[in-house]
Amino acid sequence: MTDPTTVVVRVEHPVPDYELWKREAFDRDPLGRAPSGVRRHRVLRRGERPSRVAVELEFDDRASAEAFAEALRDMWGRVRDRFEWRELPEAEIYELTEAHEY
């Protein structure tokens, strides 16, 4: 059964150097995921395009998700050149409506 209050911030973007991005950006957690309300995260890479990364961050409420998405946008503007991004990632907000484990 899915908790109706789960809100997901989903980000998908190209990462020219995955190891650099993972070590210097994601693992350093500059925005403080847990203190910002992130309950769970998933990092995904596309098999045929491993430089394409998706990150899913789960929150208990929409306000926390929106605040974190805005903080991400601000940060991305500051680190764009460091990670050689031609385009900035986008943070989209979803409400989890169903999940089932098999």
What is the pLDDT at residue 4? 58
The residue-averaged pLDDT of 18-22 equals: 90
What is the pLDDT at residue 51? 86
Whether the Cβ atoms of residue 7 and residue 59 lie closer than 8 Å to each other: yes
The residue range of the domain holding 62 is 7-95
**Phi/psi of residue 95, nearest 5 degrees:** -105, 125
* 23 within some domain: yes
* 77 within some domain: yes
Q: How many CB atoms lie within 10 A of CB 13?
A: 19
* 102 within some domain: no
Distance CA 64, CA 71 (A): 11
Averaged pLDDT of the chain: 90
Domain count, the chain: 1
* 62 within some domain: yes
Rounded to 5°, the CA angle 100-69-40 comes to 35
pLDDT grade for 29, boundaries at 50, 70 and 90 = very high
From 11-15, 58-62, 81-85, 88-92, the region with the lowest mean pLDDT: 81-85
Q: Which residues contact 49 (CB under 8 A, 6 or more apart)?
A: none
* 2 within some domain: no
| Three-state SS at 7 | strand
pLDDT grade for 2, boundaries at 50, 70 and 90 = very low
Q: For residue range 39-55, list pLDDT tens digits in order.
A: 999 999 988 888 899 99
According to DSSP, the residues that pair with 54 across neighbouring strands are 12, 44
